[in-house]
Structure 1
Amino acid sequence: MIGKLDAIALDCPDPRALAAFYGEILGLSIAEDSEDEWVELTGPGSVDGDRPVLAFQKVEDYRAPEWPGQLVPQQFHLDIRVEGLDEGEKAVLALGATATGEHYATWRVYLDPVGHPFCLVSSNG
């Protein structure tokens, strides 16, 4: 082993807002907030230094990835496991996600408030 995963970082125009979006979906809370430039989320019961974290980094002139096109390609996406796809969809849409219309038997594709694709995946599939 060369190392351990430390953080998963998403570029965005407003780290606090995107952290709040994913924090609500995943039940995570802000662990570090560096003057609007870098925000980290950690889970319930975690202790300072618990890694990996989900982080959000401010980028000037941010350009959202294009989905499903590749003019501005996605660099990665998150899969978020949910008990029910319909209930999960209602919850993420209420928080500001956008449905892409791509629905499959066990997963669906959405865009977060700044255009990053992510999937809800059924825990029953």
Structure 2
Amino acid sequence: MAIGELYDVVFDCPEPDELAEFYRELIGGKITDSDGWWTTLETPTGMRVSFQRVDDYEPPRWPGQEHPQQVHLDVMVTSLTESEPLVLELGATKLKGSRSKTGFRVYADPAGHPFCLVTN
């Protein structure tokens, strides 16, 4: 028996509303809560992803560990070739060292958090 179940994934960031909107466009869902310091996105599957404002925020750096990733999301897509331009248009950045091999590619969201697009 587990102690609990996953309820929310929370990202520190400088602008919670902007980052929530980025992820809403990336994975769908709706913004259910926002007060300028905390914004919650409920995904179509019911999972929560929240964003909290942090003053003096410093993003993680890929691939080094001086500023570790701490957390990242894998987003399943049907085609890396079709999905990459869409995430770049949303404001993502393809990270240096990200291989364009079949299977996955690594990006950073607008606040610098790494995430991957993955395929089967």
- TM-score by length of structure 2 reads 0.92
Distance in 2, Cα, partners of 1:57 & 1:73:
18
Q: 1:17 deviation in Å? A: 0.2
Distance in 2, Cα, partners of 1:60 & 1:100:
24
Equivalence for 1:30: 31
Equivalence for 2:108: 111
Unaligned runs of 5+ in 2: none
Distance in 2, Cα, partners of 1:43 & 1:72:
28
Distance in 2, Cα, partners of 1:26 & 1:77:
14
Give the one of 55, 62, 67 matched to 1:67: 62
Equivalence for 1:84: 79
Structure 1 segments, 4+ long, off by >3 Å, are none
**Could you list the per-position Cα deviations for residues 89-117 of structure 1 after superposition, in whole angstroms to 9, with x for gaps in the alignment?**
01000000001141232000001101100
Aligned residues: 117
Q: 1:5 deviation in Å? A: 1.1
Q: In structure 2, the residue corresponding to 1:60 is in which secondary structure?
A: coil
Q: In structure 2, the residue corresponding to 1:5 is in which secondary structure?
A: coil
Unaligned runs of 5+ in 1: none
Q: Which amino acid aligns with 1:26?
A: I
- TM-score by length of structure 1 reads 0.88
